[in-house]
Chain A
Amino acid sequence: MIERLGAHFFRHEYGRLVAMLACRVGVRHVELIEDAVQSALMAAVETWPKATLPENPSAWLFSVAKNHLVGELRRRARHERLIALHDLGDANATVPGPRAGLDGDVRDELLRMLFACCDDAIPPQSQLVLALKTLCGFDVREIAERLFTTEANVYKRLARARTRLCELPFDADELSSEQLAGRLPAVQSILYLLFTEGYLSSHAHEAIRRELCDEAKRLAEILAGHPLGATPETFALLALMHLHAARIAARLDGAGGLLLLQEQDRSQWDQREIQLGMSWLARSAQGEVFSRYHAEAGIAAEHCLAPSFEQTRWERVVECYALLERLAPSALHTLNRAVAIAEWRGPAEGLALLEGLEPPSWLAGSFMWAAVLADLHRRCGNVEIALRYRESALHSAPSTAVRGALQRRLDQRAD
């Protein structure tokens, strides 16, 4: 019976129902909507095992959640007399059940909710938390665990987002096409953030890391399937997600340690993901725009297509990092370009690029900066400087897995 429902049925139903109800009664009621959806899911767990599973579980959930929500809105209206009567009447009359086979409709509603989350009055970190809560169906504890932050912090971010949604005027739910187009970059950036939170996470469970990546891919694919979001940038974003996802499993050794790119068994890379990534990349190569997602997908594609670490087309990687620096200036991209140059032209040229560069404090204090300098100096034979950076890199490594990989790399002999 459970098999029929799919592995993430409850979580995805949560997102679907929140989005559908938000479209019908307004996103400003998001808290009541979430309560209603929670009640419907709990009712399902309580009643479904006792009888047979409803023929259309999604429709069953929708109608239970809808009734709960309408009842609650009525109760509030009676008490507070705040909600205009016609609004309620409408809510009741125009809350139709999901029509069979109209998957496209649900996708529209998920997208509308995603765009609602990306209100520019909401800080990006709050947007991300709001999307994880309402569209992905994670609760506060699960979000805190996935974003490596405290539950109190998640609550705070969520409250900020909800406050903003509650302030929205009654007619704010219908975003104009200009508004929607204007929010597209924010939507893409939140999906990118969602993906990297999973991909770069040092969480001990691969399943948990993968989950965020899968959610990002799922929502990005819905975005790419809608005329509103079907732009070359979205395609490039999907390309980079798939090309990174292809290598998730191979980044780990059997014991949970991290493997460096040159240590990875390339036969473990997921060829299906690579193919998907390459076809999205091909679709992204249209129009005038070359976005940061294009540059990042290009880098990922070079790695995925290289038969070995040594045979990587480093000049292409360098070129893409240079483009990325121009599109999204960050000392981190310069650092990455230095690494690629070192592979292409030797460590001295890599070092030369970093010379005189004043990294921002967040980067200067991170293990990445120290590790790259330790590695390049070591390979240039500057033993003492290399040792100093090595200490600092190992000291600031965020996890034992990272520390282990650094040690293997930095304790090699000079080139």
Chain B
Amino acid sequence: MPKYLCLQRSLPGAAPDSARPSPAQLQAMYAKFNEWREQFQKNLTDMGGRLGAGRLVTSSPVPDGPLVDVKELVGGYMIVSATDIEEAIRVAQACPGLVRPGSGVEVIEIFAPA
């Protein structure tokens, strides 16, 4: 089954959601997340994680500093197995907290040698 890299990114122009969820909301998120995981278990190849700051390595020296525009800051990644990109999108879209005001998911097919 083809694999897809899902990258969470902030949407340009949208202020990142800075409100911290309350414990009760966290519990609801936890329940939803578990439900989602159980529903799509066969698709979830790698649950991934959050991504921190990165450095670009090139053949010529580059200055330090943020390399990705803040607007496009990537939040986290995961790898989904699906028969096609539509199914991968359905899995990502159903993931609680991934698609919300201010952030979206980029779903990219990973080509593997046949």
| CA distance in complex: A10, B50 (Å) | 22
Query: Do most interface residues of chain A lie in helix, strand or loop, or is the interface mixed?
Result: helix
User: How many Å from the CB of B83 to the closest CB on chain A?
Assistant: 24
* Chain A residue at smallest Cβ distance from B33: A49
- Measured between beta carbons, the chain B residues less than 8 angstroms from A139 are 20, 22-23
Tell me if A46 and B22 are in contact (CB < 8 A).
no
A273 within 8 Å of B by Cβ?
A: no
Give CA–CA (A380, B93) in the complex, Å: 67
Residues of B within 8 A of A1 (CB): 34
Given contacts A46-B50, A49-B37, are A137 and B24 in contact (CB under 8 A)? yes
Contacts of B23 in A (CB 8 A): 10-11, 13-14, 41, 137-139
Interfacial chain A residues near B27, Cβ < 8 Å: 5, 8-11
Residues of B within 8 A of A11 (CB): 22-24, 27
- A38 within 8 A of partner (CB): yes
Q: Which residue of B lies closest to A1 (CB)?
A: B34
Name the one of B24, B33, B37, B49 contacting A45, with C-beta atoms under 8 angstroms. Answer: B33
What's the interface size class on B, roughly?
10 to 19
Taking CB atoms, residues of chain A closer than 8 Å to B34 are 1-2, 49
Complex contact A10–B47 (CB within 8 A): no
Chain A residues near B22: list those with CB within 8 A: 11, 137-139, 141-142
Closest A residue, CB atoms, query B24:
A11
- Which one, A42, A49, A141, A142, contacts B26 given CB within 8 A? A42
Instruction: Select from chain B the residue with minimum beta-carbon distance to A133.
Output: B22
Q: Identify the interface centre among A1, A9, A10, A41: most chain B CB within 10 Å of its CB.
A: A10
Which residues on the A side are within 8 Å of B30 (C-beta)? 2, 10, 44-45, 48-49
Chain B residues engaging chain A, CB cutoff 8 angstroms: 20-24, 26-27, 29-31, 33-34, 37, 47, 49-50
- Cβ-closest 3 pairs across A and B: A139-B22, A10-B27, A10-B23
Chain A contacts to B: CB under 8 angstroms? 1-2, 5, 8-11, 13-14, 38, 41-42, 44-46, 48-50, 137-139, 141-142
A and B contact pairs by CB, cutoff 8 A, 6 listed: A11-B27, A41-B23, A45-B30, A50-B37, A138-B24, A141-B22
